[in-house]
Amino acid sequence: MKFCSQCGNAVSQRVPEGDNRERFVCDHCHTIHYQNPNIVAGCVPVWQGQVLLCRRAIEPRKGYWTLPAGFMENGETLEQAACRETDEEACARVTGLALYTLFDLPHINQVHVFFRAELADTDFAVGPESLEVQLFDESDIPWDELAFRTVGRTLECFFADRTGHHFPVRNEYLPPLLSTLPTPST
């Protein structure tokens, strides 16, 4: 952040009085610009044992498969965010949402939340952010072509829990993937 969104003057980075973290502070209008994690909400839409996945038409991870999910907007609940994203990406309606997985991703300042849900009907369609929308049996899930780790982990949990007919809410911390860091050449 370089400029104050309130008055347009330059901001500086310092610890405000009474605080213990560096913030972007405007020395002109004295606004403190707090930056906090973003929440991604989505769901696992199920129809007769199959799960609805969307192939992304947009970056990041264009061409990869995802559960319908996206950034929560101001003024909506988590459930509303999950339903809206499902409608936007798959033109699908879901019911009976049940909180299922929560992932802490502090290295990217995000929290991802997924609900289990029932597809209300099979009148889904390809939304503007998707290339394809399709129901998958467990045996056909494109595990190597999933867009995000939280999607893969949610699906893993879902199929494991389904065998026991018990779906506890899971809160997991996903650390950064060390394998994605550059390795020194030998």
Q: Determine which residue in the list 1, 2, 3, 6 makes contact with Zn ion, applying CB under 5 A.
A: 6
Exposed, middle or buried by CB within 10 Å (0-12, 13-18, 19+), for 74?
exposed
Looking at the Cβ atoms of 19 and 76, the one nearer to Zn ion is 19
Q: Which of 25, 26, 97, 117 binds Zn ion (CB under 5 A)?
A: 26
Using the rule CB under 5 A, give the single segment among 5-13, 45-53, 156-164, 177-185 that binds Zn ion: 5-13
Q: Does 32 bind Zn ion (CB under 5 A)?
A: no
- Gyration radius of the chain over CA positions: 20
| Residue 86 Cα distances to 39, 67, 70, 147, angstroms | 16, 8, 9, 16
Per CB under 5 A, which region of 31-39, 102-110, 136-144, 152-160 contacts Zn ion?
31-39
Does residue 47 contact residue 38 with C-beta atoms inside 8 Å? Answer: no
Structure tokens at 70: 């996206």
Q: Is 1 in the site for Zn ion (CB under 5 A)?
A: no
C-alpha 17/C-alpha 40 separation (Å) is 32
Kindly tell me which residue out of 4, 46, 67, 133 binds Zn ion, with binding defined by CB under 5 A.
4
Min separation Cβ 6 and Zn ion, Å? 4
Where along the sequence are the contacts to Zn ion (CB under 5 A)? Answer: 4, 6-7, 26, 28-29, 31
